Every structure is written in structure tokens, then in C-alpha cells.
Amino acid sequence: MQDRYSRQAILQNIGKEGQEKLAQSHVIIIGCGALGTVAANNLTRAGIGKISILDRDFVELNNLQRQMLFDESDVGETKAIAATRKLESINSTIEIIPIVKDLNHTNIDEIIKDVDLVLDGTDNIQTRMLINDVCVREKIPWIYTGAIGMSGMTMNILPGAACIRCLYPNIPKAGSLPTCDTMGVLNTLTVIMGSMASTETLKILLGELKPVNEHDSNLIVYDAWNNSFDNILVRKNEECACCVDGTFDYLNAEDKDVISSLCGRNAIQITPANAKEINLHELASNLEHLGSTKCADFILLFKIDKYEISVFRDGRAIIKGTNDEKVARSIYARYIGT
């Protein structure tokens, strides 16, 4: 047993065998923001043998208030790459895989095909519903975690037990849920919720989690300001479209462009259907006479008129400066291609 984990392996709940089990585990963290950076840091130090980190975005200055792995030198860098660089300097004995992609119905099967657990660090319910679909179908445990304002919540979703659609049968209408942009978020809250999810990850991987019962799940809600916990029993809905009927609406979406508005950022993200990998340096060469370009291995930044376009190697692009899908489509077609 490496001395690195001596204070952890001595714990009765883990031990030498448990530490070795963690070293053989593969966890994917989907979303490397406030929750994801905390979980990634914890699990890297705990010795999870393989950690995939998926995030579609890049570091912005306003992230630094709560996204614990990043500093000012990372602003403008893709989150998955910046996080991987930091984590590899913390623990060089494990494998960390950065994935700079937008998770959607066209790629999720390939991305999670060999993971033991999915940890939610996302910021939108649509992606969580997609994760729920594939994890229920493939019988992969996943942990739902969220934080907004002063309140956070987390729920382990184990194979056979109540899933997130038992809790939320339908996605709330657009604009009906608060966001970090409209309500803010306390940075100590995200550290607490990310650490709670990390602890649950270890328990699940070690086989130490004691479920409420075979069919129900437990939602933990934490109020950071009043320092109070509520445990809410989530009963399996015997009419659940997903975990009972096996209808995977979000996974079986039509194969078409995925377009989403990025809340609070006056930006539209476009992920083309059947996109092919782009040579960013070649594209930068074609665009440099039209506007300002800055190119790295995983991202190209292109500014023209009032628009700022971030193009990723997988063909995805974020068009900043508009909330109009038609305008964003037009800009994409004009400068990147159809």
C-alpha cells in the first residue's frame, strides 16, 4: 500500500482491500464547474484509479469564486484540460482523461461505456435526464447533485431504485427554475455538496452504501445558511416512464443538431449532428483575415463585429452575442460551415 493513502486505508470502512478496489474503479464527472471541481479534487486525492472529466466549456473570471481547481491563469482555457493539468500535479499515479465535448444523445453511449459510476456536476435538468436514461438502461449507479443560492441537494440513483424521473416526471418549463446567474450561489455550499457526493461515490464503489430499501431513494436537501438537513424519501413511481416502462425519451431523441441557450451568457451553443473533427489551426488560418483569432489545441476563439465564437475540435461552437437561434445558425454556417 502506497504511503500516499495511509491515512485513508487505515480507516475501518476502507482498509487495504478497499483502497485497491478504488484503484480499479472508473468514475466519470460530467460537468467540471463548482460541484465537479470539488469532486474531482477529492476523488483524485482518494486514489480513484481512472477519472474521466467531461466539460464543454472554458474557464471564465466569474467561475473563480466557486470553481476550486482554477485560478486566474486558467481563464480562457477549456475546463477539462485545465482541471486535468491541476489534478495530474496532485496525483500522477492515476489516469485522468479530459473530454472536451457537449454531452448529448449522439455521444453519451460511447462516453460512459466502461464507467463504474457517473457523478453529476451539470447545471441543467435536460442533461441530467439524459444521464438518467442511459444509467437506468445500463444499470450504472449515478449521483444527482445540485446547488443554488444557499440550498443544495443530492440523491444516489442506484440500479432498480427510484430514478430522477420518479422525482421529476417532467422537465419544468423554461425560465421556471432559478439559476446561478439569477439567484447566485454560496461557494461554501458547493464545496459541501461536492464533498457529500464524493463521499457517496466512495461508499458506492466500495459496496458500503446501505440503501433505504430495494426500490426507493433518498434525497438529501441542505440549507447552508441555517445549517439544516432534510432527508426526503423518494418512492419508486410504479408508472415511471423511465425506470419502470423503459421509455428513454431523452436518449432516443432525433438525430439532429443540438442547439441550446447558455443561461445568463447571451450565447447559443450549436452541436452539429454527425459532426466531424475540425482542424482548428487550419480554420484559424482561414478566418484570421476576417477578425481576431486565437487558437489552441482544443479551442479556437474568433471575434468579428459584436460576436465572439468559440469553436471546439469536435465541431461544437458557442456563439456569444445573441440569444437568437436563427442568428447563431447563420453565423455558424457562414464562418465554420454547414
| Domain count within the chain | 2
247 in a structural domain: no
Write down which residue in 202, 234, 266 finishes a domain. Answer: 234
Q: Phi, psi (5° rounding) for residue 209? A: -70, 130
81 in a structural domain: yes
208 in a structural domain: yes
Q: Are residues 7 and 76 in the same domain?
A: yes
pLDDT given at position 175 = 45
Q: In CATH, what number is assigned to the domain containing residue 208?
A: 3.40.50.720
165 in a structural domain: yes
Q: Give the whole-angstrom CA distance, residue 122 versus residue 131.
A: 10
Q: Are residues 110 and 218 in the same domain?
A: yes
Residue numbers of the domain that contains 40: 3-234
Q: Give the whole-angstrom CA distance, residue 330 versus residue 113.
A: 35
Q: Any long-range contacts for 258-264 (C-beta under 8 Å, 24+ apart)? A: 258/102, 258/104, 258/105, 258/106, 259/325, 259/328, 259/329, 260/124, 260/126, 261/323, 261/325, 262/318, 263/123, 263/124, 263/179, 263/181, 264/179, 264/180, 264/181, 264/182
Spans in the chain with pLDDT lower than 70: 1-2, 172-182, 210-212, 254-257, 261, 263-264, 273-275, 338
Q: Are residues 194 and 277 in the same domain?
A: no
Which tens digit of pLDDT belongs to each residue from 146-195? Answer: 999 999 999 999 999 999 999 998 876 544 456 665 578 899 999 999 99
For residue 171, give the DSSP letter.
P
224 in a structural domain: yes
pLDDT given at position 176 = 47
pLDDT given at position 264 = 60
Adjacent-strand bridge partners of 154: 145, 220
C-alpha cell at 222: 441542505
Q: Which of 33, 7, 39, 41 is nearest to 200 (CA)?
A: 39
Q: Are residues 175 and 267 in the same domain?
A: no
pLDDT given at position 254 = 67
pLDDT given at position 1 = 45
Between β-strands 50-54 and 95-99, what pairing exists: parallel, antiparallel or unpaired? parallel
pLDDT given at position 125 = 84
pLDDT given at position 27 = 98
